[in-house]
Structure 1
């Protein structure tokens, strides 16, 4: 009987753990009662909001991390592809708006004109980067970056929670064995005295319920170390703060707050229009400056209206090439932003309750269901014991 009780404890814990994460989508006859969906996927929207709020309010300061980018170094990183793009844009615009004049120019003159335009491109990149750093909150919603990444791939949210909680899940399963064994000894004594058929299913239910409840509580409580005689007690999750900080920061930096995700949010997110307007103005200003003293002559030669159209066409084409060009600086930007170490460091400064919020929401809302399922499984196994013993 103690061995069977330990088995009940273990099986109910494994069932609770799997029910937290599986299935990804609802399986059953009628949602939400006749079937099941994993606790984490079913509450994914709420958990995404909680995770995104924690990331953006406590762990990542957008303005601070973007100040780490050096505009000069960024311009150098993309210098090669940038010069190619400027060459293509300059030739496209000239062929479109001044085909006759462009064809009349000898190749050397064409090259000189292109080189003149290229000479202003590093300055343009520095200006754009300085503008972005100064107005980053106007052009980037970092919370939306986190929400989009986690919403786009619900399996990512599950992986994030499951990976940082593997030791806690293993602890819960082990608790089922130890607590079940102890309660099984009590069950054995009661059965030996009473021989009542109700003892086994009732004890099975009690073992499933109590061991589930106690194991989940011991994951988080006590929050601070407490001594009870020679024993030092502290919630497993609280005890592993440094390890969890490294794991969580690694996953977030690798799959959520990535440079491609941030770049996509900047260029296509809800605030992208502000950035594109900013870049457009910077490109126009740089073109005027590069034209310099020759601008009045150019205006007379091609016409003021056409000159303006040429500038705007150049700016539009530059923005079209921008996403592919800036990707060449991904490695530098990842290193400079240093999101992984930033998150890990700030996680260590969270209060114990804030830190608990990384994992606790995965249990809190449907904790009672997991415990109830444990009780039902325990009762069923207890009833099977009765059938084996008495029949």
Structure 2
């Protein structure tokens, strides 16, 4: 049969088809954030935003089971050591609050008339008492940390509040993998296009290019997804070492994942909100109320304090002191802010544990994003490839079509 120069465009068009279908597949994973079209079937919503809550729970299971298990992290929590290292400013602040509520507010004249050395002595005694209370509160918080701080709830709430968050996280963690999917379509498409060209030259049937486009779209998407995760362990084949791209980047992925989670999800602000509201907040406040209440009771029976403050005012003192502490609890530099920011280094814990995860567990960081409706991405790639092949055949010489 007679060769036509137009035939040489076949592998190049196949490369474009491979690239475009893979780019489309990646984009369809993340966009649109909301369903576009005629529900329930005629339209599309990005795979990740549609399954954001499910994916968040899967990520949370990995985090809580293997990366950031609060119970094991706080099993050896040293409340005394933590208070001594990080709570000096907080202790001074709480001591001032106790003095303000009991001495200055309830026994102002008597307190003001005391010599400064006596005031300093009283203040030192109160600070010792406050430190003991803070240590007891910290110890109770460590023992009950899973009830106070629900990591799954924090992650799911963060994802629900920000529809784009889950997609942004996967794009950040898997940026190299998504780039590979896109560019691999170009190379795989060209390679398959060479076989497509040979088939066209041998048998230029009307159906060959659409069929080849279907195969190119299907195989390039499938192969790209396959090469990201397989093989999980390095495998030597002749002079080459095959290793799944994602597994090869474990150190970089661990850094990106830990940075994203610590910065945007399990951060100080989100932890503070969770620990001051809902079931976690109720549990924490019950602990604080119990220990502060016990401290007020001890002062109530202290001869010096009893001489300064009338007996009928102690219940009011207890209520007002608790209200003041509650109001100032989440303030920057305060008790709770210091605890959440200093007790656990979320980034470091996630990073260190993720770098030593076994291959199967590590794959769970990104694999759910692909596994969720993965077949749809491949089929859409095949359909786009077939459509492009149909357009391509219309531009080939008519006398070759049988």
TM-score interval, smaller chain: 0.7 to 0.9
Which of 325, 340, 352 is matched with 2:359 structurally?
352
| Secondary structure of the structure 1 residue equivalent to 2:87 | helix
- Alignment partners' CA distance in 1, 2:232 and 2:171: 21
Task: Report the RMSD for the aligned CA atoms in angstroms.
Answer: 2.8
Q: Is the 8 A contact 1:223 1:352 kept in 2?
A: yes
- Alignment partners' CA distance in 2, 1:325 and 1:215: 47
Q: Is the 8 A contact 2:97 2:321 kept in 1?
A: no
- What residue in structure 2 maps to residue 53 of structure 1? 61
**Aligned in 2, Cα 1:178/1:308: closer, same or farther, shift over 3 Å?**
same
Residues 1:37 and 2:49 aligned together: no
Judge which range, 146-155 or 330-339, deviates more.
330-339
- What residue in structure 2 maps to residue 340 of structure 1? 347
**Aligned in 2, Cα 1:65/1:90: closer, same or farther, shift over 3 Å?**
farther
- Alignment partners' CA distance in 1, 2:72 and 2:226: 37
- What residue in structure 2 maps to residue 265 of structure 1? 274
Q: TM-score, normalised by structure 1?
A: 0.88
| Secondary structure of the structure 2 residue equivalent to 1:131 | helix
Please give the per-residue CA displacement for 1:127-172, whole angstroms capped at 9, x wherever unaligned.
3212212332333323322222233223221111111111111111
**Aligned in 2, Cα 1:334/1:105: closer, same or farther, shift over 3 Å?**
closer
Count of residues in correspondence between the two structures: 381
Residues 1:241 and 2:269 aligned together: no
Measured after TM superposition, the shift of residue 106 of structure 1 is: 7.0
Q: TM-score, normalised by structure 2?
A: 0.85
- What residue in structure 1 maps to residue 6 of structure 2? none
Please give the per-residue CA displacement for 1:192-241, whole angstroms capped at 9, x wherever unaligned.
12221211111111100111111111111111222222221121111111
- What residue in structure 1 maps to residue 84 of structure 2? 72
**Aligned in 2, Cα 1:302/1:334: closer, same or farther, shift over 3 Å?**
closer
Q: Is the 8 A contact 1:93 1:313 kept in 2?
A: no
- What residue in structure 2 maps to residue 162 of structure 1? 171
Residues 1:184 and 2:188 aligned together: no
- Alignment partners' CA distance in 2, 1:190 and 1:106: 100
| Secondary structure of the structure 2 residue equivalent to 1:271 | helix
- What residue in structure 1 maps to residue 325 of structure 2? 318
Measured after TM superposition, the shift of residue 81 of structure 1 is: 4.3
Measured after TM superposition, the shift of residue 85 of structure 1 is: 4.1
Measured after TM superposition, the shift of residue 27 of structure 1 is: 0.9
**Aligned in 2, Cα 1:196/1:170: closer, same or farther, shift over 3 Å?**
same
- What residue in structure 2 maps to residue 288 of structure 1? 297
